[in-house]
Amino acid sequence: MTHGELNVPSAYAVPHTPAQGGMSSALMVADVHVFRHEFITQFRYSHCATVHPADMHILEPIEDHSTLYEEEKGTVFLARDVMTRMQKLSMQARRPVPLPAQRYHHRPRYSMPASMSSAHLRS
């Protein structure tokens, strides 16, 4: 999705708690905090969601040192290099897949007969 002039994902999810027993499993749901893109490198807390593993797709792993989480304000700031990589991923996803060369057939443009012209219709 886009926000302002940047093409960036509109949400950023952070795992809230590990799966039951401290172990994560491909068969267990995960609770995540969802952050909405706000401004350039800033994301604001939106809501908590429970996500099934089949619905979760990691686009870009983000190291802890590349984020600044201000829990009391509900904001996350991402490092500019991470935002640049995410912007490139977003642009690649939007790029149309080239189709094989095709022949385009020109359809002739039909004009109105003189008897149907607007000047004739007004009288």
Calculate the average pLDDT of the chain: 73
Tell me the pLDDT tens digit for each residue of 9-47. 445 555 554 444 445 556 788 898 888 989 888 899 999
Q: Are 78 and 60 in contact (CB under 8 A)?
A: no
pLDDT at 3 exceeding the cut of 50 = no
pTM score > 0.85 for this model? no
The DSSP letter of residue 85 is H
State the pLDDT at residue 12: 53
Q: Are strands 6-7 and 11-17 parallel, antiparallel or unpaired?
A: unpaired
DSSP string, 32-73: EEEEEEEETTEEEEEEEEEE-GGG---SS---GGGEEEETTT
* Sheet with strand 67-70: strands edge to edge: 11-17, 30-39, 42-51, 75-78, 67-70
pLDDT at 65: 92
**pLDDT given for residue 73 in this prediction:** 94
Q: Which helix (H) or strand (E) holds 94?
A: helix 80-94
pLDDT of 21 reads 47
pLDDT at 4 over 70: no
* Mean pLDDT, rounded, for 3-11: 42
Quick one: pLDDT at residue 13? 55
Q: What confidence tier does 48 reach under pLDDT thresholds 50, 70, 90?
A: very high
* Most confident range, picked from 17-31, 49-63, 65-79, 92-106: 65-79
User: How far apart (Å, rounded) are the C-alpha atoms in residues 123 and 120?
Assistant: 6
